Structure 1
Amino acid sequence: MNTLEALRKVYAHRRWIVASDNLVSAGRLCEVLRELGAEQVMAIGASRGTGPLTSEGVIQLSLGALPAESMMGGIRETEALIDALPAPAVTRVEAFDPDSSAGVIRAFFSSGKPVAGRPCYGARRPE
């Protein structure tokens, strides 16, 4: 089995949510997941980011965060926002994934906490 086949075994035939600091980069990863056979994908970004947004095949949700005063401040604010999504965002996630079966991908430096009750894929459980 080559690398591409191995990745398809993990990501295909399932819904995925990518929650990141910005919608543009989350959307780009969603496009990769679609190419690997993901059933449906949702990009959640704390802010919009710069550059073009992804295709209409990706459900997009911007949380509307404003630019932070520092890089570390931005990371902390983003993580806090994704850890505890606002109620309207949770409603959108519930509509996208009513049976809570979607996998969630977050930044490598994230807390690894669930997003809207959905476990983060690959996260080490806090002990």
Structure 2
Amino acid sequence: MPFVRIDLPQGKPPEYRRTVGDVVYEAMRTTLNVPENDRFQVISEHAPGGLVIDPTYLGIERSADALTIQVTLNAGRSVELKKAFYRAVADGLHARLGLRREDVFISLVEVPKENWSFGNGEAQYA
């Protein structure tokens, strides 16, 4: 059910992009109870100037490697689950890619279940 958009600076190798997607998917599975094979991701690279991320907002020092992750998912998960997801993604990207935790921006967009169609012109969750 989640749909993930990952935006990162241009120039990362394919393995890097794949690992970012893997970490996000694994974190969704372990913290947000996302079903197996429920993986829908768009990973986009942006040239300099095409990805605007404030380098100091809220006192967090971000580098040129900062990326954004937006997850659209069904409404209803607890704040505790969301916090566990944020932590799992930041920790996973740090452990597997050396990405600084400060460089991980995550946004969750919650929608009602009837707002999904996975194919065939049907609302599978409605």
TM-score (norm 1): 0.30
Q: Which structure's residues are more often strand, by fraction?
A: 2
Which protein, 1 or 2, shows the higher relative CO under an 8 Å CA cutoff with sep ≥ 6? 2
Greater C-alpha radius of gyration: 2
TM-score (norm 2): 0.30
